[in-house]
């Protein structure tokens, strides 16, 4: 059994915010809500502020879940990071209907102005553009922005990023604005991210920070590349956050291999071995050693979920609390490191 002497959010307080993702409070148990409020200083809405949820039709906004999250976070003194304004996924097709560039630009503007404006002063920061760089890299691609062939790119060209940042800044001039992506610490995707960020800065886009998502695998976390990426982004004058941290346990699998249902009807996962949990704790400790070393640059470290039940990587035990809300070895390893 793992015992907690010091709270993670207190251990991190002098360095950066420690956050979690979720669409709280609806459909979370009282125990989970208490856990979230006790251990985390920041929250990112996991899905409820994405375009498909909030703005399914051009003249239809559904703010209930998002409003409830903002109110819950306020009551629990948690900082809120908005996620996400312009993305190729979870974005309804109506944005792109009609092929008229000016109309599509206007829809993007209206979406961002309405959403960012509604929570102005209540959300500290926003992921303005999410995952714009293509995964297929290589030496040639590394010299370019290598943008993903998304509907945003098709409709508006590479300028779509600059526009999104401008619109967000207009709607809330004090919000910290992020470019957010995965694997941008590694290989040619990292090089492309530097090309893209330099262009945005040269164009005068109001971009303030980079979000390294941080979906990594235990036993193969690219520590060296992560540290270099942090210093590379800092050299551009940008802040950095780890926005969606989870370290999955290799070999462990949920879903079809995860073995059955328990008697209450929940899927049950193959439990991780002690050795797996130790490796994961070491990985997290090493990561936080890097984050602490670069505390001047890092604003926030957010875990993508609350516990090993409330995670998109279900069955791979990626987080700091198990499915029964008990702290794992990784929790204590991080607190000891900080
Ligand atoms: C994921 C959510 O966790 C899932 O619940 C949802 O079904 C799909 O999206 N990168 C992101 C996040 O920026 O928005 C994604 O979240 C995970 C990958």
337 belongs to the catalytic site: no
* Measured distance CA(16)–CA(292) in Å, rounded: 8
298 within some domain:
yes
Domain containing 194 — which CATH number? 3.20.20.80
Other CB atoms within 10 A of residue 245 CB: 27
Neighbours of 95 (CB within 10 A): 18
CA distance 233 to 213: 14
DSSP letters, 162-175, are HHHHHHHHHH-TTS
**What's residue 252's pLDDT?**
56
Report yes or no: 205 and 162 within 8 Å, Cβ to Cβ: yes
CA of 47 relative to ligand 1 center, distance in Å: 7
In a domain, 174, yes or no: yes
* Tens of pLDDT, residues 222-235: 999 999 999 999 99
Looking at residue 79, what DSSP letter applies? E
Per DSSP, the residues of 259-312 read: --B-TTS-B-PPPPPHHHHHHHHHHHHHHHHHHHHTTTTEEEEEESSSSSSSST
Residue 276 within any structural domain of the chain: yes
Alpha carbon distances (Å) from 53 to 65, 79, 90, 181: 9, 22, 8, 21
23 Cβ below 6 A of ligand 1: no
> 1: CA distance to ligand 1 center in Å?
31
Give domain status of residue 61, yes or no: yes
Question: How many domains is the chain partitioned into structurally?
Answer: 1
pLDDT, one tens digit for every residue, the chain (338 residues): 889 989 999 999 999 999 999 999 999 999 999 999 999 999 999 999 999 999 999 999 999 999 999 999 999 999 999 999 999 999 999 999 998 999 999 999 999 999 999 999 999 999 999 999 999 999 999 999 999 999 999 999 999 999 999 999 999 999 999 999 999 999 999 999 999 999 999 999 999 999 999 999 999 999 999 999 999 999 999 999 999 999 999 765 554 344 444 444 455 678 899 999 999 999 999 999 999 999 999 999 999 999 999 999 999 999 999 999 999 999 999 999 99
Region of residue 80 (phi > 0: left; psi between -120 and 50: alpha; otherwise: beta)? beta
Closest C-alpha among 34, 41, 10 to residue 335: 10
Pocket test for ligand 1, best of 45, 304, 306 (most atoms within 8 A of CB): 304
**Structural domain contains residue 286:** yes
Query: Atom 13 of ligand 1 has which residue's CA nearest to it?
Result: 130
Residue 200 lies in a domain: yes
Ligand 1 centroid distance, CA of 313 (Å):
10
Compute φ and ψ for 180, nearest 5 degrees. -125, 135
Q: Does residue 156 sit within a domain?
A: yes
SS3 content of the chain, % helix, strand, coil (to 5): 40, 15, 40
196 touches 132 (CB < 8 A): yes
Write out the H or E segment, with its range, that includes residue 240.
strand 239-248
Question: How far apart are the C-alpha atoms of 319 and 59, rounded to whole Å?
Answer: 38
Q: Are 80 and 52 a contacting pair, CB within 8 Å?
A: no
Predicted local confidence at residue 267, as pLDDT: 57
For residue range 125-170, list pLDDT tens digits in order.
Answer: 999 999 999 999 999 999 999 999 999 999 999 999 999 999 999 9
pLDDT of residue 266: 52
Cα–Cα–Cα angle for 25, 26, 29, nearest 5°? 75
Choose, from 244, 275, 299, 337, the residue flagged as catalytic.
244
DSSP label of 93: G
Q: CA 50 to CA 46: how far, in whole Å?
A: 8
Q: Does residue 46 line the site of ligand 1, with CB under 6 A? A: yes
Would you call 329 helix, strand, or coil by DSSP?
helix
Residues composing the chain: 338
Distance of CA 84 to the CA centre of its chain: 9
Q: Is the CB of 286 under 6 A from ligand 1?
A: no
Domain housing 164 = 8-337
Per the CB < 8 A criterion, the answer to whether 111 and 156 are in contact is no
Distance from residue 78's CA to the centre of ligand 1 (Å): 21
Atom of ligand 1 nearest to the CA of 305: 3
276's CB contacts (< 8 A; 6+ apart) are 218, 249, 250, 251, 252, 317
Cβ(44) – ligand 1 distance below 6 Å: no
State the alpha helices, DSSP H only, in 143-273.
151-156, 159-171, 187-202, 223-235
Residue 1 included in any domain: no
């Amino acid at each position: 059994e793992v015992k907690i002497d010091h709270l993670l959010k207190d251990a991190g307080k002098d360095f950066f915010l420690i956050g979690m993702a979720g669409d709280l409070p609806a459909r979370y148990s009282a125990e989970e809500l208490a856990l979230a409020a006790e251990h985390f200083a920041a929250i990112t809405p996991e899905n409820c502020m994405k375009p498909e949820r909030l703005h399914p039709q051009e003249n239809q906004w559904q703010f209930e879940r998002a409003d409830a999250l903002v109110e819950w976070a306020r009551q629990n003194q948690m900082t809120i990071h908005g996620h996400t304004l312009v993305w190729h996924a979870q974005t309804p097709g109506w944005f792109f209907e009609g092929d008229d560039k000016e109309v599509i630009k206007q829809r993007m503007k209206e979406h961002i102005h309405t959403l960012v404006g509604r929570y102005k002063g209540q959300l500290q920061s926003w992921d303005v553009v999410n995952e714009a760089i293509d995964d297929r890299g290589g030496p040639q691609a590394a010299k370019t922005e290598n943008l993903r062939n998304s509907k945003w790119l098709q409709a508006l060209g590479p300028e779509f990023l600059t526009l999104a940042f401008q619109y967000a800044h207009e709607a809330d001039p004090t919000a910290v604005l992020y470019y957010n992506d995965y694997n941008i610490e590694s290989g040619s995707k990292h090089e492309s991210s530097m090309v893209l960020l330099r262009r945005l800065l040269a164009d005068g886009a109001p971009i303030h920070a980079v979000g390294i998502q941080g979906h990594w695998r235990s036993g193969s976390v690219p520590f060296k590349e992560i540290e270099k990426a942090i210093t590379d982004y800092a050299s551009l004058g940008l802040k950095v956050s780890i926005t969606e941290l989870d370290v999955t346990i290799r070999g462990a699998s949920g879903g079809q291999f995860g073995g059955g249902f328990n008697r209450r009807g929940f899927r049950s996962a193959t439990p991780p071995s002690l050795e797996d949990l130790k490796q994961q704790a070491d990985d997290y400790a090493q990561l936080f050693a890097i984050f602490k070393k670069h505390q001047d640059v890092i604003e926030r470290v957010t875990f993508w979920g609350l516990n090993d039940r409330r995670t998109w990587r279900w069955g791979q035990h990626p987080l700091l609390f198990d499915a029964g809300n008990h702290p794992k070895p990784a929790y204590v390893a991080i607190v000891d490191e900080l």
